[in-house]
Structure 1
Amino acid sequence: MGAPPTSSASGGAKGRGFDKLNHLRELLPESVVLTDPDVVEGYRFDWSQDPNAGTPIAVVRAEDASQVQTTVRWAAEHGVPVVPRGAGSGLSGGSSAVDGGIVLSLERMRAIEIDTECQVAVVEPGAFNREVKLAAAEHRLWYPPDPSSYEICSIGGNIATNAGGLCCVKYGVTTDYVLGLDVVLADGRLVTLGGKRIKDVAGLSLLKLFVGSEGTLGIVTRAILRLVPEQAARSTLVATFPTVDASARAVVAMRRTLRPSMLELMDAASINAVEDYRPMGLDRSAGALLVAQSDAPASARPEEIGLMRDACTAAGATEVFVTDDPDEGEQFVEARRAAFPAIEARGTLMLEDVGAAVPLLPDLLAAIAAIAAEHDVEIPVVAHAGDGNTHPIIVFDEKDPDSVRRAAEAFAAVMKAAIRLGGTITGEHGVGRTKKSALPDQLGEDVMDLNRRVKEALDPQGILNPGAVL
């Protein structure tokens, strides 16, 4: 599949580029198509700050599905790349702009409707995860997918990467809650997949094909999300350990028989980063910290918490603290959520998202520590430990070429280590552009070929998010 043509900055090609944009401006309201360089600059990067991000010729801030269709039809006609974008909180360069392309922002499409009879939320892609949770909570319902960035990430982005989060160990990830999608295809057609019904096996499972496809197969303009009754009261357990290995062994022991509603890990570097950034009373001397929760029925919760405590103690925890106070428990959860911005304050980041089967969590964490030592880089780690999904965060000095080189080598080595353990290069952030070089090593050539054939079937011109994933 060939790369889509891009505009040139000289001669007749430049003139043709202006003609293209004038045509687009004629098709859409004036306020929707933005070309001011300062505005466009703000749409080049997602949170990963991918240094290879290109410069688009315009930003389209669509207000409804018909404007998305119009933009995609125009792009197909002129062979212009389209990069869909939500809130820009992605961590793998999945919405990095490309030269000569259009950034199609869905940030204005924010409508939310709660259907209490069907227990679903009908949501436009620009709505924030937090907004959906709050709208559902008004009806004593709950939308469980819970990324650390839930306050600032959009539902469209969550669907694009099949985001998980802190509650996924018990409640699953985004795909488990997507019942229906409206998707604009690469030729501008809008298709409706699924609906408000719980069970539906009519035809191929195309709905799930688009979840996690990172905007490479189509652009989501509406989602029907399954809701569940509001979460029960929770008890929180916080355990400190002398080493990361001890905390990982506690996780493995818990997961043999238990399914906590949350099981999060922070290593010493991330603990201290949070304390430097926003002092919260965490134990700076700890080698690792586990934050676990149980939302089992009141009659069963003490037993589940007791078994968690026993697992931590047996693994060598130096302290185990339990609280039934929701506000007190939430303080520890907030400390875990603060890890990304806290570590970002220490330098430039390369963000990893590798995972392995839960019994191999100690091996994965040991491999990450060895890579940090070998390449002389700091790699704080936080993890959705209960499902084996780790977030090693490589900190480096972008102004020091040697630091950049060592960080890049460590980044590649971490992904290779996960693959060696039968794991994955991304559990929930997506492949984007920053991890695509490692994807063949995980999937193998036959599966890569299947991926390419699906992409070519749905986007034969290659205009949808080119350069991402494949």
Structure 2
Amino acid sequence: MDELLERLRSGLPDEALISDPDVARSYDRDMAGFCEAGTPAAVVLPRTVDQVRHVMRTATALRVPVVPQGARTGLSGAANASDGCIVLSLTAMNRILEIDPVDRIAVVEPGVVNADLSRAAQQYGLTYPPDPSSWETCTIGGNIGTASGGLCCVKYGVTAEYVLGLTVVLADGRLLRTGRRTAKGVAGYDLTRLFVGSEGSLGIIVEAVLALKPKPPAPLVLAAEFPSAASACAAVCAVMEQGHTPSLLEIMDRTTLRAVNRLGSMGLPESTQALLLCAFDTPDPSADLAAVAALCEAAGATEVVPADTPAESELLLQARRMSLPALEALAPATMIDDVCVPRSRLGDMLDGTAAIAERHGLTIGVCAHAGDGNTHPVVCFDHRDADESRRARASFDEIMALGLELGGTITGEHGVGVLKKEWLATELGPVALEFQRGIRETFDPLGILNPGKLF
């Protein structure tokens, strides 16, 4: 320990190194439940690439594990410390280095907050579309590490589609640059995409070149109430089958709606079994909403309410934004799942989750990015009750098994981390798992980068 701290201090300013055990312990985990976390030996908050390189050279020389962290808003335990590790918190590397309105790119450090980048881009008439629910606090580095998504993915896509190039510090301290600044480029293997979603297991991202899009008009939103999850999901299928491209298509089940009513007094009908929210940011959103309204009514919607103004649209979206806080208010603890299924099986996923909740005697609310089939079942339970905790974990696993059975995946945007690594092996199979482990060993032969995550 003394040698580690001495070596770290030799290349770091005093304020960049935290060795006090009590303070270091406050960096031990992200927001995931049911995930073990160890005690870090030290926490480093670098401000420069050279400081990151010094940390990695030190870690390699002493064979000390390194756990990279952003804002720790993750939900899979990917940022959890391991015993005796160096926690490398990149939040202080938070500069927007460049915004180029001609090439429509931004060059940023990993600690830049998602919302700060979006606001900076808007000054140039541009936007950075990936918008996780935690966009006001989560960082770009964390978004890239987990390949995160957001509410607008149905039209604008996920983080991976916006990362053009990266600068990465490898495990031994070498600097690797991947990708490009150009709109097109196919020279060599796509190492950039390899790092997106790697959860800090291949290297430390210290700079990213991101694509920007022209800022769209303010959207108009439609809310449709349905007597069943199946009818709401039938409407989703009809919207997509007819070729519509909403900027947002979200669904909330009855449990979630009741929780939102309880928290925010939204006045949503308690008899509603599912609420569908659909938004368009097209030149004529009213016409698009009218077409979707007709599809919702044909699918059995009991009421359809289109907004006439952006202000009314914002009111309709409040319920969706309140979903997670409302469900968290129902119990002392929650587990947030992240199962993505084909859109055509979305109804089966919601009905199957309801059956799992009933079987285990638990409250499980579901909100979903319906446009891409990404569901977020939220298991509410009392972590102080051993039996209830056991049932919560069992229901969580059954939901993932259901997703795979329906042709889906165990994670659409939250990542694997510690929480789902056994399920990753199930989804990938032995051959794919062997090759993924081989890739990891190529980049990190000593196994010091975020050990215990993914595999």
Q: TM-score range with shorter-chain normalisation? A: over 0.9
Write the deviation string for residues 167-209 of structure 1: whole angstroms up to 9, x where unpaired.
Answer: 0001100011111111111111111112221101011111110
Q: CA RMSD in A?
A: 1.3
Deviations 1:369-407 (CA, angstroms, capped at 9, x unpaired): 111111221110010011000000111111100001101
1:221 aligns with 2:206: yes
CA contact (8 A) 2:35 2:418 kept: no
Within 5 A, what are the aligned runs for 1:26-425? 26-112=10-96, 113-257=98-242, 258-298=244-284, 301-347=285-331, 348-425=333-410
Aligned to 1:11: none
Amino acid at match of 1:313: E
**Whole-Å separation in 1 of the counterparts to 2:218 and 2:390:** 48
Please say if residues 234 and 324 of structure 1, whose CA atoms lie closer than 8 Å, have aligned partners that are also in contact: no
Aligned sequence identity (%): 48
5+ residue gaps, structure 1, are 1-16
Shift of 1:234: 1.8
Structure 2 partner of 1:452? 437
What do the CA deviations read for 1:66-93 (whole angstroms, capped 9, x no partner)?
A: 1111111111111111111001100111
SS of 1:197's equivalent? coil
Question: Following the alignment from structure 2 to structure 1, what is the Cα–Cα distance between the partners of residues 453 and 417?
Answer: 5
Opposite residue 6 of structure 2, the aligned amino acid is N
What letter matches 1:441 in structure 2?
T
Q: Give the secondary structure class of the aligned counterpart of 2:304.
A: strand
**CA distance change for structure 1 residues 49 and 59 in 2, over 3 Å: closer, same or farther?**
farther
Distance 1:96 1:161 in 2: 14
Shift of 1:295: 1.5
- Check the 8 A contact 2:126/2:214 in 1, yes or no: yes
Q: Alpha-carbon deviations, 1:204-250, whole Å to 9, x = none?
A: 11111001111111111111111111112322101111222221111
Which amino acid is 1:21 matched to? L
Deviation at 1:50, TM superposition (A): 4.3
- Measured in 1, the distance between the counterparts of 2:325 and 2:439 equals 37
Task: Answer whether contact 2:28 2:81 (CA < 8 A) is retained.
Answer: yes
Q: Any gaps of 5 or more consecutive residues in structure 2?
A: none
Q: CA deviation at 1:105?
A: 0.2
After superposition, the Cα gap between the structure-2 partners of 1:39 and 1:284, relative to the gap in structure 1 and judged at 3 Å, is: farther
Q: CA deviation at 1:22?
A: 1.8
Note if contact 2:343-2:373 (Cα within 8 Å) is conserved in structure 1.
Answer: yes
For residue 331 of structure 1, report the CA deviation from its aligned partner. Answer: 2.3
1:294 and 1:201 map into 2 onto residues whose CA distance is 33
Shift of residue 294, structure 1, vs aligned partner? 1.1
Q: Which runs of 4+ in 1 moved over 4 A?
A: none
SS in 2 for 1:379: strand
* Alpha-carbon distance in 2 for matches of 1:18, 1:269: 53
Q: Secondary structure at the match of 2:30?
A: coil
Residue type of the partner of 1:23? R
CA contact (8 A) 1:124 1:223 kept: yes
Hey, what's the Cα distance between the residues in 2 that align with 1:444 and 1:307? 43
| SS state at 2:198 partner | coil
1:240-271 CA-to-partner distances (Å, cap 9, x unmatched) read 11222221111111111222110011111112
Q: Report the residue type matching 1:428 in the other structure.
A: E
Shift of 1:303: 3.3
What is the CA-CA distance between 1:24 and the residue it aligns to?
Answer: 1.1
Residue 51 of structure 1 deviates from its aligned partner by: 4.2
Q: Distance in 2 between matches of 1:100 and 1:383?
A: 38
How far apart, CA to CA, are the structure 1 residues paired with 2:176 and 2:20?
A: 33
- SS of structure 2 residue aligned to 1:405: helix
SS at match of 1:425: coil
Question: Within 2, Cα distance between the matches of 1:144 and 1:55?
Answer: 36
Deviation at 1:157, TM superposition (A): 0.7
The CA deviation at 1:324 is 3.0
Q: Distance in 1 between matches of 2:31 and 2:148?
A: 15
Q: Is the 8 A contact 1:181 1:192 kept in 2?
A: yes
SS in 2 for 1:321: strand
Residues 1:466 and 2:436 are matched in the alignment: no
C-alpha distance in 1 between matches for 2:321 and 2:439: 36
TM-score by length of 1: 0.94
Q: Is the 8 A contact 1:149 1:337 kept in 2?
A: no
Letter in 2 for 1:223: A
* Alignment match, 1:4: none
Tell me the SS of whatever aligns to 1:31.
helix
Q: 3-state SS of the aligned residue for 1:27? A: coil
Q: Report the secondary structure of 2:364's partner residue.
A: coil
Q: Which amino acid aligns with 1:344?
A: E
Mapped partners of 1:305, 1:426: distance in 2: 30
